[in-house]
Structure 1
Amino acid sequence: MHQRRYHPATLQRRKGKYYVCVTKPKELQFGADRQARRSTGTSDKRQAEYMLHELTQDIYKEFDRLLERSDPVYERLRPVLEQEGINTREWYSGGKVSVRVTGGRTLAAKLGMGCQDIKVTEVWSAENHLELCTLVSQLGHPIPADIVHLLPEEEREQFLNLTKPSDIPSGELVDFVTGAHERGLADLAKTSLEKLQSLSRVQIAQDDVPEPSGTTLQSIIEAYIESRPERSRRQDRGQLAKWMQHPEMGKKPLGEVDIYDVYDFLNELGEDLSVSSLRVFRAAMSNVYNWCNKQRDLGIKYNPWRGIDMTGMGQDAVDRLPFTSEQLHHLFKLDMPDDCRKAFAILVTTGLRGGELVQLAKRQKVEVKDGIKFLDLREITTKNKGSKRLVPLHDLANELPKSFTQQKLRSLVRRVTNDPRVVVHSLRHTAKDLFRDAGISKEVSDFITGHAQGDVSGKYGVGPSLQVRYEAINRVAHPWLR
């Protein structure tokens, strides 16, 4: 079972038949080739849906196989190569890349050997990491300093030697200079050799290449809003507030947000918002990243909101799947840190949101009243007023985790199932289902999970009492926790 998480699959009708389509991981996207497809061989949608899971797994296995041979050095330089119009697929299919260079970018021009009546075209190619770095540098792009840490140990010293002035020109350049000498251009050849000896073949980027950005949305919001048309500023600010007010994502640097954070956030937001509202929010966040991409000093080069598949998201769409009993047993049998186990236990017994638990774990404050342990969510940042509530803890899960990350929880869930509809947030849906199956009324369930008006008055007498909520939560047996 693979450890990576991929885009969810969709069914698309093409030429009269249904195909299972999955957006490729970024490392496997080349130009317009961004999707993997498998034909179901049928025009019957119901039959195609029956085949969806099996064909999706085949695609995921192919992604695994291709990513195992993915070259981290090449992937680090690939955006530059694509910018130059190079067919980057050739690196994996043919073992090399090449580019035709003309005019002032040729080595001949740089060495001062070009003249008006001679048009020079050079073909540069690379078949290994060192040649690749040389090629990129000769095209005028500095090599990121972190490349040295990605190179195999035996290549590092050779790479560092490339950053020093050349003592001896390469074979091709010797031939070029010799040819110039034979054509009666002796003085020009001599000058070119002197220039060549002072050139370094690879320029390493230092301060001019931004490090991973620590910029948060809060830190750039005013500058961004100022750049927007005046008629849309109020709406933009309202949409972006959803991100900034989130207890976990709101503090995360924009440069560290990945596509899995985006999916998790949209899944959580989709519990209360319609599909159309989610799309408006996604567009607002994508516009922020498009703006950031143009600000060189921010160093944010990737837009994780682009190309998001929102199938099944939103209050009026298909819900995410809850965990099955078998999946819960599997999950709690995994070898995992004790804090992760405590986090999963509280999520499945209370229906808390992941962001709520993160805040509560940092506070490490479990309240006690009349012998009942409970969490006071009126003291943390919640999605809305209805989420400010008192949540009793189950007798089998009454300790807060001290240190965990939602990313770690996501990776553990992927060890249980590859179904993209089953995520950490699915534990909230699982809790709701377990409450219903245990005969707990919707009113009590909604107060526990934060779907009611909440305990905003600050008094214990609002809604079902703490005792009623405690008894309701403990009515669910949770055999996977015993």
Structure 2
Amino acid sequence: MSTPHLKVSPSGHYQYRFVVPEALRGIVGKREIKKSLGKDRTRALKMYAQVERETERLLKSVKATASVDASDRALIIRKMRQFGFTEKDINTVGGHGGELSDRLDEGLSIFQDELITEYEDAEDRGKSPAVSLEAIRAIGRKRLPKDTYTVASALTHYLTMKATGVHARDLALTNRVNKVKERLIAVIGKHEVTKRPLEKLTRAEARKFRDALADEMAPPSVKRTIEIVSPAINKMIKEHDLDMKNPFAQLEIKGATNSRDARLPLSEDDMTALAPTMEKGDASLAALWVVLRDTGARLGEVCNLRRMDVDEASRCMRIRPYGDHTLKTKNSERDVPLSPKALEVLKSLASDLAPEATLFKRYAGPRRSEKASAALMKRLRTVVTDTKKTIHSLRHRMKDLLRNTDCPESLAKEIMGHSEAGVAFNYGAGYALNVKRAALEKAW
């Protein structure tokens, strides 16, 4: 197997390192894709193949994005480079490099003739010209076309801003945003999404897109899709000080309002019936169940616990971001007391492991917790058939248990890792571990 992107550090650690082509860095959001592959060569080669496939999918996706999103200005600059203009020439035409020389003036006239020919050829073949007449006229005036901000470029900017540097997460987000873009093109039109100035987007088009989504998916899915488009437009408006209102802002989505019965907590009868199924068999899954049950933590937080994150002396787990593992919110970083049973199962998994080793090796890593969720759900569904009850219902259950034992809301939020709107919440070290334990002991 060819491994051109496999590097070895002086300390003997294998790394995947791929330099992103300059033209795609703005969309990918970084100059280089890096991934630690460990010190074992056999395992490193196996991981290399997987990361290489993910990188290829990511580049294929962003290349498609780049070809669709290219503004007149970007297309003209690309064509100027292909035509032989230097970066100094391009800067001069862009108004950043002084006066035009006779050579550059003549070159631009020839370049404009080429653009006109391409435009006429495209029209003769019934195709949409790559470069607009406005852009060709700008070259005739010895200037670059003005920047045009579109719905597509807003989504590209959104991708850049949301990039985490975690390869698997960025790939998933890129694929999701590109699907949203494809839907927008199908409903509103390719020109309207990729070429037309963002300021011309209308509320009627936003409603049309919402209604088209409503015909294909459930209201919560419509809401999640709109929650990509609307923030992307908001970011572009703020970044470039555009004089417009966001047509997608506060768009009403019937049936998408969160309600108490959207997902139900598991009842005590459910927990009793589930115990024989969930607490036996596969040690990792049984341990996950016990820790989730007794802490109300998120599945991804528990799946990525390392040996060093379990403090046996303090009888707690320390939820922290590290490497490729990120947390949902800033307030998700916290210490959570462990019940005697939860501490016992984690200690059994931790024996003979190095401090940096993950306790749930099979389920640790970006998006790997989804496998744990699927495995736990298979077990849960053999007992509980109500579709409003899932593994995440354990988190709802803990919230109710804390509420019903008169636990202060701010303390419950700190235990659960919920965000708090008040600024004061972010001051100080937070509640002491013994205070959290006292609240949880009432729930246990």
Q: TM over 0.5, yes or no? A: no
TM-score category of the 2 structures, normalised to the smaller one: 0.3 to 0.5
TM-score (norm 1): 0.38
TM-score (norm 2): 0.41
